[in-house]
């Protein structure tokens, strides 16, 4: 039966070339956009260089302080003090990386200005994140404790100052009026990375006062567990730890901070969050509405085209009914035909988006970002194909099956 559906679907598509073109254009373009968005989100959200252990990591990057008296609310990152004094006491995580928000610093060599984004990190940062070093090595605990003026730089930074990476190691870069000795060069990161910077230096070198006991500041932590199974345990331990933290500032009486998965912390950074509500629901419903709205127009378009095609095929419907096809069978037939069309469009969409991604990658629109279509994305595409095919096929199929045999046979 399926083979027969396939045969007739292909025959219909071949005979009505113009319609096939219009339908395929709409479907493939719609799906290509879905693929591109999915690829981009997948790239940003899933584990990738250098943060390859995302499935067994939790992120501490948000701190909310509330004052119920003033009805005011402050959002920001946790302070170094909070992470160092409390978060590092957690037992479950294997390693904890600490790093500051990136701060722009200026460097002037030979009267040429360069802006270097700096992050202050601890030594574990280099264990938790899997940087690949093209030259040299990271700084260790001793260098951190001694506040040695050393730095790891990105390849891009290296290229801006030196002839090659190997030559960079041991040389000095002066930025923010400080001379840093370069001890390592790493492959550059895409700007979307959560630890993106041009230079990474020991946190002991910061000009900020690390003894400041405020809870809010510009730091983040990544908790790396030895296995995925420890994630929930760590979350529990984190929440317990938080409940015991005293509020230093009398102005505030509530504190919200969480050990989030990467996706959760990403959502939380959109400021949809409110207290214990992570904002996930709002985000997902917003995203859902946007996707639906975006799908609405191509769907309506395809529905209209399909209905026109049905009217054109009323004789076929009549004959099939006369020879024993039930309405249900006809619905199946048409829905499957439409799914076949959608999947053809899906294949074209994949090809189209592949081309676009190749062009985007090679033109380097987004620096250091190499997008690729992977299985997750293909799965989303498949799902989108099915949803799209059903959405645009079911109503016309239903209309078709309800067509009265006698009228269907008359209308030719």
Write the DSSP string, 64-96. EEEETTTTEEEEEEEPHHHHHHTGGG-SS-SEE
Q: Is the dihedral of CA 208, 214, 215, 217 positive or negative?
A: negative
How many whole angstroms separate alpha carbon 42 and alpha carbon 279?
Answer: 20
Eight-state DSSP code of residue 101: P
Contact with another protein (CB under 8 A) among 12, 90, 215, 339: 12
Q: Least separation, in Å, of the C-beta of 304 and another protein?
A: 5
Complex with another protein: residue 246 or 324, whichever CB lies closer:
324
Q: Is 163 in the site for another protein (CB under 8 A)?
A: no
CB atoms within 10 A of CB 301: 17
Q: Is 3 in the site for another protein (CB under 8 A)?
A: yes
User: Virtual CA dihedral for 203, 208, 213, 215, nearest 10 degrees?
Assistant: -80
Q: Is 211 in the site for another protein (CB under 8 A)?
A: no
Secondary element (H or E) of residue 221? strand 219-224
Q: Is 391 in the site for another protein (CB under 8 A)?
A: no
Helix (H, G, I), strand (E, B) or coil at 380: helix
Q: Is 41 in the site for another protein (CB under 8 A)?
A: no
Eight-state DSSP code of residue 277: B
Q: Is 355 in the site for another protein (CB under 8 A)?
A: no
Q: Is 2 in the site for another protein (CB under 8 A)?
A: no
Secondary element (H or E) of residue 154? strand 150-154
Q: Is 405 in the site for another protein (CB under 8 A)?
A: yes
Contact with another protein (CB under 8 A) among 270, 290, 319, 355: 319
How many whole angstroms separate alpha carbon 169 and alpha carbon 260?
Answer: 36
Contact with another protein (CB under 8 A) among 241, 245, 307, 390: 307
Q: Least separation, in Å, of the C-beta of 305 and another protein?
A: 6
Q: Which of residues 171-210 bind another protein (CB under 8 A)?
A: 176-177, 207-209
Q: Least separation, in Å, of the C-beta of 294 and another protein?
A: 8
How many whole angstroms separate alpha carbon 237 and alpha carbon 240?
Answer: 5
Q: Is 305 in the site for another protein (CB under 8 A)?
A: yes
Q: Is 406 in the site for another protein (CB under 8 A)?
A: yes
Write the DSSP string, 162-205. -SSHHHHTT-EEEETTEEEEEEEEEPPPPTTSTT--SEEEEGGG
CB atoms within 10 A of CB 244: 7
Contact with another protein (CB under 8 A) among 17, 70, 142, 163: 70
Q: Which of residues 104-123 bind another protein (CB under 8 A)?
A: 104-106, 108, 111-113, 115
Complex with another protein: residue 307 or 347, whichever CB lies closer:
307
Question: What is the contact surface with another protein in residues (CB under 8 A)?
Answer: 1, 3-4, 7-8, 11-12, 15, 18-19, 22, 25-26, 29-30, 33, 70, 72, 103-106, 108, 111-113, 115, 176-177, 207-209, 293-294, 296-298, 300-305, 307-309, 311-312, 315-316, 318-329, 404-406, 409, 412
């Amino acid at each position: 039966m399926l083979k027969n559906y396939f045969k007739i679907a292909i025959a219909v598509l071949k005979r009505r070339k113009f319609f096939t073109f219009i339908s395929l254009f709409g479907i493939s373009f719609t799906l290509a956009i879905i693929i591109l968005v999915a690829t981009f989100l997948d790239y940003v959200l899933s584990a990738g260089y250098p943060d390859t252990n995302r499935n067994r990591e939790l992120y501490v990057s948000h701190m909310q302080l509330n004052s119920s008296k003033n009805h005011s609310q402050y959002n920001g990152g946790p302070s170094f003090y909070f992470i160092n004094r409390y978060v590092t006491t957690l037992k479950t995580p294997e390693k904890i990386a600490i790093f500051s928000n990136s701060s722009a610093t200026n460097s002037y060599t030979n009267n040429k200005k360069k802006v270097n984004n700096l992050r202050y990190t601890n030594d574990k940062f280099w264990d938790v994140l899997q940087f690949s070093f093209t030259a040299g090595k990271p700084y260790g605990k001793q260098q951190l404790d001694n506040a040695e003026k050393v730095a790891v730089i990105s390849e891009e930074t290296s290229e801006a100052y030196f002839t090659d990476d190997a030559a960079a190691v041991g040389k000095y870069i002066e930025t923010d009026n400080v001379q840093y000795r370069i001890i390592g060069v790493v492959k550059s990161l895409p700007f979307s990375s959560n630890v993106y910077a041009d230079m990474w230096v020991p946190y002991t070198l910061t000009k900020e006062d690390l003894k400041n006991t405020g809870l809010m500041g510009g730091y983040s932590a990544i908790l790396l567990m030895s296995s995925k199974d420890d994630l929930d345990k760590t979350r529990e331990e984190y929440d317990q730890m938080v409940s015991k933290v005293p509020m230093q500032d009398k102005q505030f009486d509530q504190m919200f901070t969480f050990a989030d998965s990467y996706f959760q912390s990403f959502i939380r950074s959109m400021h949809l969050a409110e207290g214990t509500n992570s904002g996930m629901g709002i985000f997902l419903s917003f995203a859902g509405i946007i996707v639906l709205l975006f799908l609405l127009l191509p769907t309506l378009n395809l529905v209209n085209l399909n209905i026109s095609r049905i009217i054109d095929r009323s004789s076929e419907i009549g004959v099939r009914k006369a020879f024993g096809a039930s309405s249900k069978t006809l619905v199946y037939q048409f829905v499957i035909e439409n799914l076949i069309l959608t999947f053809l469009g899906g294949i074209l969409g994949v090809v189209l988006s592949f081309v676009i991604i190749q062009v985007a990658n090679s033109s380097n629109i987004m620096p250091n970002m190499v997008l690729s279509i992977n299985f997750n994305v293909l799965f989303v595409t498949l799902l989108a194909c099915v949803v799209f095919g059903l959405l645009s096929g079911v109503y016309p199929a239903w209309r078709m099956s309800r067509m009265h045999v006698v009228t269907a046979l008359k209308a030719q």
